[in-house]
Amino acid sequence: MFRLLKKVGLATAALVSASVSAIADEPISSANDGEDLEEVLVQGVSSLQQRLGDSGSISVIDAQTIREVAATHPSEVLNRVPGVWVNRGSGQEHLTAIRSAVYTGSGACGEFALLENGIPLRPQGFCNINNLFELNMEQAYAVEVWRGPASAVLGGNALHGAVNVINAMPKQTSLGIEVGSYDYGRINAGGSFEVGQQVFGASFVGTTTNGYREDTGYGQQKLNLAHTTQANGWSVNNQLTATLLNQETGAYVRGFEAYDDPDLRRSNPNPEAYRDAWSMRASSEWVKDQWSLKPYFRRSQMTFLQHFLPGKPLEKNEQTSGGLLIDYSIDAGATSAKVGGQVELMSGALNEFQEGPTVGSAFLVATRPSGLHYDYDVDSQLIAGFYDLQHRLNDSLRVLHSLRLEHLRYDYDNNHIVGNTKDDGTACGFGGCLYTRPASREDSFTNVGARLGLEKDTAAGLLYANVSRGFRPPQVTELYRLRGGQSIADLDSEDLTALETGFKNENISVAVFVERTRNFLFRDSEAFNVSDGRTQSMGVEFSGQRRFGRHEFQLAATYAKHEYDFARDADADGREEITDGNELDSAPRWIAHAAWRTAFSDTLKHELEVNRVGSHFVNAANTARYKGHYAVNWRLQWQASASTEISLRVMNLLDEQYADRADFAFGSYRYFPAMPRQVYLGARMILD
């Protein structure tokens, strides 16, 4: 398998001639880098919408907004979208919620699809919960956010939603430099040139900081190369993305409201923690008439110290994958459709090793031995077929229907001792070791994603309603990295059924949704895996903007309730009790973003931004709560000359002490403290 994937990679690399795929279904012209887009949340047609239709909750953050926000972390961009709450961790780490609670555990990344130019960042089953740091969001043409299940179009993992970052050919040669608090420095550059009918481009961003907390600095670099041309009537868009992250990682600080303590908030209980990761993705899009072909190749490796686990084992993982997406467009008068398929191969591996003995109680010492915990390889094969159909009933009424059938197969090889023992084969005390290794095996999952929708054009805007079903197969770590007491992870794919109705026009968007999940896979606050849970959710999302002369006001707000739809009693193993009707932890009912923007003149403008996170429970038993917070940020842009822009940002303007993430686990509160007030000064120059 690995040799085959290497051949696929070489063939793809030759085909792309140094680049990543074009935008999902319609290539974006190299003559437009998005600077002419004015809306912060564009309600127009996106590359996802070209297959999903106009109905549904899709928001598009344009290039101008991305540049003005100048995010130091993906949360600063994504949290402007209703229904989205990305929790900031240490450095570039994060946990995500899209129309859901924030999920934890190594498999929680399977709840959301993360894509670059319409192609998933990782193969199914081998995701990374921090995968947003592999996306060049800093220089994106646009960021699309789909809220609600999109598996009918995007496949597995698009269970609660999707984030698609679109890269494009730089229009101008530019250079940007930023400096800020805590030795922060960032440089970004981009440009392109033409040779006959071929266009070549490159974008680069590099960041370094020592971090606010002790031993939490990081260095990060991202490179995008692009190439477009015409070949025998085919429009060809090739791209290559490479990323590198070297990070010192800060751990949770413990104790009730520890984020409010001036000494604790700067401390790092695990200064030895780190994360080193790199990724490379190459792809190509060939478009001619009704045909679109997208071959792609991916490679990634990561090493990180699991400081959050007793014993602090070191994990190393890697994957090599490649595939092909094909679709064909049909236009038959009142009916239009796309039909297509996807084939993907993956070869992955994981190794977990603990160097020294565990420190702590006799139980922890006995059940978490030093030595090799896991060592396995997994090959996977994915094959899928889909269609998206739109039928016009009359000039103002349309029916939408999408269906995707997907089959995923894992071939797991255990390279270590089978069972629940130490790495020398001896037994652990207290009933056995925490780590269990299943015997080599094969598993397969067949799933169907579907959507049926109705759209009605009115004088005021678009009315819509749809019902959809999403799915996500179990991740590799959920199946083969087992806890003590398990010999086989007999898991089913998680599925979600959603009903949504809404209204949208150029200025406002309102959506009401009801959702229910089955076979809910999650990790509770005592680190036990739950594989047969059920949840139910309902909520309202609103986004809107209004101009008054030189002033513009924007609001994105969500009220939602996410509840457990099953019960589990505490047992002898000390597992957390869950009561039917309890609210999911890390699921605030209220989240909101508001902004006041003013153009003082043609060359000077500012934005005052307020973010609200409501009070919420931080454990499944609903016995611990975080009180919520407000955060205020301010940004200023000055067009000093035709070719030079100066920017000033003050983040956490009021110097509030709050938590980017609050949690309750192993009997105590724990937090990632938010950074205090920070000041950033930047300059961007056009060099053409």
Q: Which residue has the tokens 């015997």?
A: 439
Mean pLDDT of the chain: 89
The confidence score (pLDDT) of residue 339 equals: 97
3-state secondary structure of 77: helix
Q: What is the 3-state secondary structure (H, E, C) of 584-600?
A: CCCCCCEEEEEEEEEEC
Q: Tell me whether strands 161-166 and 112-116 are parallel, antiparallel or unpaired.
A: parallel
Start-to-end C-alpha separation, the chain: 47
pLDDT at 575: 64
Rounded CA-CA distance 515/466 in Å is 12
pLDDT tens across 60-98, in order?
999 999 999 999 999 999 999 999 999 999 999 999 999
Residue 3's pLDDT is: 40
Question: What whole-number percentage of the chain has pLDDT above 70?
Answer: 89
pLDDT at 36 over 60: no
10 CB contacts (<8 Å, ≥6 apart)?
Answer: none
What's the pLDDT score for residue 483?
76
Tokens of 516: 């229910």
Rounded to whole angstroms, the Cα distance separating 75 from 613 reads 13
- Give the pLDDT of residue 482: 84
For residue 379, what are its two tokens?
């090959």
Q: Give the mean pLDDT of 412-432.
A: 93
Cα 148 from Cα 258, distance rounded (Å):
34
What mean pLDDT do residues 508-528 have? 82
Query: pLDDT per residue over 90-122, tens digit each?
Result: 999 999 999 999 998 877 888 999 999 999 999
**What would the DSSP string read from start to end of 232-243?**
TTEEEEEEEEEE
pLDDT in tens, 189-204: 999 999 999 999 999 9
pLDDT of residue 486: 67
Name 409's Cβ contacts closer than 8 Å, sequence gap at least 6: 380, 381, 382, 442, 443, 444, 445
Reply yes or no on whether the pLDDT at 430 is more than 80: yes
Domain interval for residue 460: 2-686
Give 607-612's long-range contacts (Cβ < 8 A, gap of 24+): 607/68, 607/634, 607/635, 608/632, 608/633, 608/634, 609/633, 609/634, 609/635, 611/79
Asked which of 37-41, 80-84, 371-375 is least confident by mean pLDDT, the reply is 37-41
Cross-sheet strand order for the sheet of 668-673: 253-254, 668-673, 659-665
| Per-residue confidence (pLDDT) for residue 568, from 0 to 100 | 78
| Sequential DSSP letters for 19-55 | B----SSSPPPTT--STT---SEE-S--TTHHHH-S-
Total H helices, total E strands in the chain: 7, 37
pLDDT at 65: 95
The CATH number given to whatever domain includes residue 578 is 2.40.170.20
Domain count, the chain: 1
pLDDT confidence band for 42 (50 / 70 / 90)? very low
Q: How would residue 54 be classed by pLDDT, with cut points 50, 70 and 90?
A: low
Amino acid identity for residue 353 in this structure = F
Is pLDDT at 625 greater than 60 in this prediction? yes
* pLDDT, position 446: 97
Report how far residue 86's alpha carbon sits from residue 93's, in angstroms, rounded to the nearest whole number: 10
Strand partners, 446: 407
Can you list the positions of beta strands (E) in 395-528?
397-414, 435-436, 441-457, 462-472, 482-483, 494-504, 508-523
Would the pTM count as exceeding 0.85? yes
The reported pLDDT for the residue numbered 365 is 93
Rounded to whole angstroms, the Cα distance separating 362 from 431 reads: 13
pLDDT exceeds cutoff 80 at 422: yes
